[in-house]
Structure formats: C-alpha cells, structure tokens
Structure 1
Amino acid sequence: MSTALTHTWYLSGRRLHAVARQPFFIVGNIFQPAIWLFLFGELFKRVVEIPGFGGGSYLDYLIPGVVVMNAMNANMFAGMGTLEEIDRGTLNRFLVSPASRVALMNANVVEQAVTTALQSIIILLLGRLAGADLPGGQAGSATVVAAAVVIGIVFGSLSNAAGMVLRQREAIIGIYIVFMLPLTFLSSAFMPTRLMPGWLRHVAAWNPLDWAVRAGRSALSTNPDWGEVTIRLGSLLALAVFCVAVSVATFRSYQKSV
C-alpha cells in the first residue's frame, strides 16, 4: 500500500506539473461556464417570478448548476488524454516499469480532481463578482467544490474507460455530444424539477448530475439541509468508486492486450 501511495504521489506530481506548464488548460475551460453564468444569469433572471420557482436571485440559483456542469464537461474529455499517452507510447513505457498499476490510474484521478477544484473555485469567485449572494459561506462553497470534484471523477473515469475500450477520439467526442445536453437539462441546473413534467422529474431523480447540483445548492442556501447534502454526496461518492473500478478494469484489459 505504501508503494502505491508513493508512486501515486510522484505520478500525480508529474501530471500536475504538465498542467502547471499550461495554465490556459485550466483558465481556458472557464470561458464557456462564464458565458453560461453571465449570459443565462441575465437572460433568464425573471424566471424566478414563475409561480412555483420560489423567488430569489436566478444568479444565485444558477451558480451550483454551472459549477457542476463545468465539472462534467471538462472531465468527459479525460479519455482524450489517455489516448494521447497511448499514441505517444508513454503509457506502454510505464507498463514495463516498476510503477504501481493502481498508481497509474490514481494519478489520473488526482489530476482531474485538482483541476476541477481550481476551476470550480474560479467560477464561484466570478459569481461573487457578478453580485451573487452565497449565504452558505465557506462550508457551502467547499461542499459545491467537493460535489464538482466527485461528479468530475465519475465522468472522467467513464471517459478513461471509453478511451481504453474504444481507442478512438471520435467515439469519445460522440459520447460527449450524446450525453452532455440531456444530462444537463434533465437536472435542476437551470430549472427546479418541481416545474418539470412528471416523467422528467422521475428521470432527474436518477441523474447523478442532479444529485451534485442539489447538494451544492442546498449547502449554499441560508439554511442548509446537511442530512440531504450528506446523502447525495455519499451516493455520488459510491458511484465514483464504482466508476473508478470500471476504469481500472478496462486499464487491466488494455495491459493484457499489449
């Protein structure tokens, strides 16, 4: 176990060093969520007047959804990095080294978690600059970041698994296009589920993206329901562990094929 942890430390440092050398990788991915935040925040700010919405500021309502949506979007392309390492032969060189196989996968998860956390913090700061009121304070903000990190691990692990199995960038892009918008709009990211048709509410209840959004929004509210937050984050964490296990299984399958 100590060997795996040590190797994870060094391999994570290697990946994060590469990210630090290209800071635009982190900042550049903020442009789209910033557009969603400021454009949608202004364009639909009067939807809070719809009966049943609950009033308040739409910008406040929107921020957790944009943070979680960004985490999903950024990590859905994680498999592209895996394919790049396969194409360059980097991954195969690690496979003939004494490096822990668990550490090779853990380093990927750590990199995704750190970049997602940084991007989430930036989005929260942009929201504050735009005038959002986040009464949940530091605890609420930390919960939103944690929810984004976990949902990022879920989709990043599945993207890595797809990269290992399909070995085609076009396939990963196709998966992203198919799932991104449905998962986003079948959640409470932009509209409360109580205003959705009944069948959409039932679908949203099983959408992990909605779990993350609801956990973050509740944590940022004036009176957070920490019991609900804990249940949703716990469900997300269990799903993340399962998705990482799937990713590890596909990695072992790839290892046997080379």
Structure 2
Amino acid sequence: MTALIAGTWWMTHRRLSALVRNPAMLIMSLAQPVIWLFLFGQLFKRVVELPGFGAGSYLDYLVPGVVIMNAVSLNSFAGMATLDEIERGTLNRFLVTPVRRSALANAGVIEQALSTAFQSLVIIALGWAGGAHYPGAAAGLPILVAASVLIGVVLAELSTTLALLVRDRNTIIMLNVMLLLPLTFLSSAFMAKGLMPGWMRHVASGNPVSWALDAGRAALADDPDWGAVAGHAAPLLALAAATVGLAVFSFRSYQRSQ
C-alpha cells in the first residue's frame, strides 16, 4: 500500500506539474461551455413555459447540464495524453520501473478530477453571474461538482483504455465524435425527461450522463431528495470504479504486448 501511495503521489505530481506549466488548454477549453451556457440559455429560455417542464428559469436548469456536458467533453479525449506518452516512449520506461500500474491509472484519475472540478466551479460561478439560482447550494453544489468528476472519470478511463488497446488517434477521435452527441442529447441536459418522446426517456434513464445530472439537480433543489441523489450517485460511483479497474487491466495488457 505504501508503494502504491508513493507511486501515485509521484506520478500525479509529474502530471500536475506539466499542467501548471501549460494551463492554456484548460482555460481555452472553457470557451465551449460558456457558449453553451449563454447562447443556449438565451435561445431556449422560453422552453420553461411548456407545461410540465418543472423549472422556473431555463438558466437554472441549464447550468448543471453544462457542468456535466463539459465534464464529458473534457475527459473524452484523455486517451490522447496516453498516446503521446506511448509515442514518446515515456510509458514504456515507466512500465519497467517498480511503479505500480494502478499508480499510473490513479495519477490520470486525479489530474482529470482536479481539472474537471476546476472547470465545473468556473461554470457554476459564470452561471451565478448570469442570474442562475442554486437553492440547495450549500450541499448541492459540492454534489454537482462530485457528479461531474465521477462522469469525467468514467469517460477519461474509457478513453485511456481505448488508447492502450487501439493505439490510434483517428479511432479515438471517430468514436468520441460518434458518442458525444448521443450521450449529451439522450440525457436530461437540455430537456426535462418528462417532455421527451417515450423511447428517448427510457434511454436517458439508463444513460450515465443523466445519472450525474439527476444527482446534481436533486441535490440543488429547494427541498433536496437525498434518496434520489443516492440512487443516481451509487451506480455512477460503481461505474467509475469499474472503469478505473479496466484502465489498470489495460496497462497490464499493454505491457504484456511489448
């Protein structure tokens, strides 16, 4: 356990140092969620007038959607960093050291989690500046950020696994482009599930992106439904743990193939 903690510390320190030296991408990638927040927020603001929508302000409804959508978008291409390390030979050098494979996976999880949390907080602050209200802010906002981190971990570890197994940028880009829009629009990011077509509502109920959204929105309500929060957060947490395990297995599979 001590070796795992030490390895995780040094691998995380290495990745965070590189991020601190070049934070431009982390800042620049906020442009897209800002456009979603204020362009979509203005374009569809009257959708709340539909009977059964269930929100007084579309911006209030949209902020959690943009937070989770940004986490999905930010983490879907995490495997590109792994491909960079494969191409430079850095990963192969680490794999012949005593550093545990789980420490390599943990470092990626921690880096992506911190990046996702930072951007989620910025989006929440921008939403508040634009007039969004967070009734359950004290407990709800940390849960929304945690939900964004969990869905980010799921996507980042799947992307890392794909990079280790396929080792082709074009394949990763193609699969991510194919998945990003369905994951987003077959969820409750933009529209209340009660107003969706029946088939879409059923798909959204099984979409992990909706689990993260529903957990965050339930926690932000005037009267939070903690049962609903737990009911959506538990499978999301289990899925995140499973994808981390899959990434660790993929590191070992990659090493055996060398």
TM-score (norm 1): 0.98
Q: Tell me, what secondary structure is at the counterpart of 1:97?
A: coil
**Is the alpha carbon distance of 1:144 and 1:252 closer, same or farther for their aligned partners in structure 2, counting shifts above 3 Å?**
same
User: Hey, what does 1:257 align to over in structure 2?
Assistant: 257
Supply the distance in 1 between the matched residues of 2:134 and 2:24 (Cα, whole angstroms).
27
Identity of aligned residues (%): 56
User: Hey, what does 1:69 align to over in structure 2?
Assistant: 69
Letter in 1 for 2:148: A
Letter in 2 for 1:251: F
Map 1:1-258 → 2, pairs under 5 A: 1-258=1-258
Letter in 2 for 1:202: H
Letter in 1 for 2:218: S
Supply the distance in 2 between the matched residues of 1:19 and 1:170 (Cα, whole angstroms).
24
**Is the alpha carbon distance of 1:119 and 1:55 closer, same or farther for their aligned partners in structure 2, counting shifts above 3 Å?**
closer
Supply the distance in 1 between the matched residues of 2:240 and 2:80 (Cα, whole angstroms).
19
Large movers: runs of 4+ above 2 Å: none
Question: Structure 2 unaligned runs (5+)?
Answer: none
Query: C-alpha deviations, 1:142-188, integer Å up to 9, x for none?
Result: 01100000000000000001101110111111011101011101111
Q: Tell me, what secondary structure is at the counterpart of 1:99?
A: coil
Supply the distance in 2 between the matched residues of 1:73 and 1:79 (Cα, whole angstroms).
12
1:10, CA displacement in angstroms? Answer: 1.4
1:55, CA displacement in angstroms? Answer: 4.0
1:25, CA displacement in angstroms? Answer: 2.1
Letter in 1 for 2:237: L
Supply the distance in 1 between the matched residues of 2:139 and 2:2 (Cα, whole angstroms).
32
Query: C-alpha deviations, 1:59-90, integer Å up to 9, x for none?
Result: 00001110001001110000000000000011
Q: CA RMSD in A?
A: 0.9
CA contact (8 A) 2:55 2:61 kept: no
Supply the distance in 2 between the matched residues of 1:175 and 1:129 (Cα, whole angstroms).
35
Supply the distance in 2 between the matched residues of 1:25 and 1:252 (Cα, whole angstroms).
30
Question: Structure 1 unaligned runs (5+)?
Answer: none
1:138, CA displacement in angstroms? Answer: 2.7
Supply the distance in 2 between the matched residues of 1:55 and 1:216 (Cα, whole angstroms).
14
